[in-house]
Amino acid sequence: MAAAKKKTAKKKATQKAAKPAAKRVAAKAVSRARDRKAEVKRDTSETKIRVRVNLDGTGNASIDTGVPFLDHMLDALSRHSLIDLSVEADGDTYIDDHHTVEDVGIAIGQAIDEAIGNKKGLGRFGHAEVPLDEALVAVTVDLSGRPYFVYNVKIGQQRVGKFEVELVNDFMQALMNAGQMNLHINQRYGRNAHHIIEAMFKALARALKAAVAVDPRVSGVPSTKGSLRG
């Protein structure tokens, strides 16, 4: 009888000890995730851009790039990644959209990289395949600190409305370089250019959502080298 009481008391003590430990792990995760925000301003003779991100947001977006189709895609990127994203851009779109699209990609990549910080506890990897009607696009991200870009996308038409389709490649490459990431984009199939591009941005969003997530079980940087900075 006495032995049974001792066993019960020991079990209760273990449970009480486990609760504070769980709270410490949760608090550690919250501490890592707190203030994962960044603001980037990029001013050149071609564009003036301001980007703000919150990696631990709810997908709130405020986008005004002067390029309506890009606004539409960035809104989807924010919504499906749950990254709060604010973009204000004033570019030389009277020439064409190239400088604005590319520089917005640079600024968003820089902001994400800055907001991630020391990368402790980072999910690091993300992969998603997203359909949109007849189109299916896969995106894989590794926040490795080493830029590398793979873009296997074939779109038949040159424009979606007034937007030049080739600028999607320029945006993604700029994002990848400034964000210091491996970025692999593979179009499985698809016919409609709008569908292919939108599926791509949504897949990027879902991949980033996983890659920037904080795992409370990871105490350091998720790398056998102990570093994710190149």
Quick one: pLDDT at residue 218?
Answer: 83
Residue 118 pLDDT class (50, 70, 90 cuts): confident
**Interstrand relation of 148-152 and 182-189 (parallel, antiparallel or unpaired):** parallel
Tokens of 189: 């199939």
The answer to which of 61-65, 204-208, 214-218 has the lowest mean pLDDT is 214-218
**pLDDT over threshold 60, residue 159:** yes
Torsion (CA) 165, 167, 168, 171 in degrees, nearest 10: -170
State the average pLDDT for the chain: 88
pTM equals 0.84
**Percent of the residues in the chain that have a pLDDT greater than 90, as a whole number:** 74
CATH topology of domain 35-211: Ribosomal Protein S5; domain 2 (3.30.230)
Task: Please state, as a whole number, how many other Cβ atoms lie within 10 Å of the Cβ of residue 90.
Answer: 14
158 closest CA partner among 205, 185, 197: 197
d(CA 124, CA 215) in angstroms, rounded, equals 10
d(CA 85, CA 73) in angstroms, rounded, equals 12
The answer to which of 142-156, 166-180, 193-207, 213-227 has the lowest mean pLDDT is 213-227
How does 190-222 read in b/e, with b if 16+ C-beta sit within 10 Å?
bebbbbbbbbbbbbbbbbbbebbbbebebeebb
Residue 111 pLDDT class (50, 70, 90 cuts): very high
**pLDDT over threshold 80, residue 217:** yes
d(CA 157, CA 46) in angstroms, rounded, equals 27
